[in-house]
Amino acid sequence: MATIFTKIVNGEIPCYKVAEDDRHIAFLDINPVTPGHTLVVPKHEVSYLFDLSDDEYVALELFAKKVAKGLREAMPCKRIGVTVIGLEVPHAHIHLLPITTEADMDF
């Protein structure tokens, strides 16, 4: 069965898209931990980040870097927290967590 993120990639579930290229999509988390909390997802469904091929992994990280740069330009954030959780959705992804205020440090 397709993951929630594959359904988002296929347009079956709406999202607030932040960025997209041919292999990846970035969209706002539905339950943000900090304002601008963004998920960076490969369109190719692989359940776990470290199961991506080396090529896919590097491409995802480079895309995440571009998205983080865009977030830093768009928001008054000091830096972007980067984390991998992967407990809820079995589809490889990276969390980008803009840190704008002291309170955001509590994530």
Contact call for residue 29 and ligand 5GP (CB under 6 A): yes
Residue 93 annotated among the catalytic residues of the structure: yes
Query: Minimum distance between the CB of residue 72 and ligand 5GP, rounded to whole angstroms?
Result: 20
Contact call for residue 89 and ligand 5GP (CB under 6 A): yes
Provide DSSP, the chain.
---HHHHHHTTSS---EEEE-SSEEEEE-SS-SSTT-EEEEESS--SSGGGS-HHHHHHHHHHHHHHHHHHHHHS--SEEEEE---SS--S--EEEEEE-SGGGGG-
Q: Which of 54, 55, 73, 88 binds ligand 5GP (CB under 6 A)?
A: 88
Q: By the criterion CB under 6 A, which residues form the site for ligand 5GP?
A: 4, 13, 15, 27-31, 39, 85-89
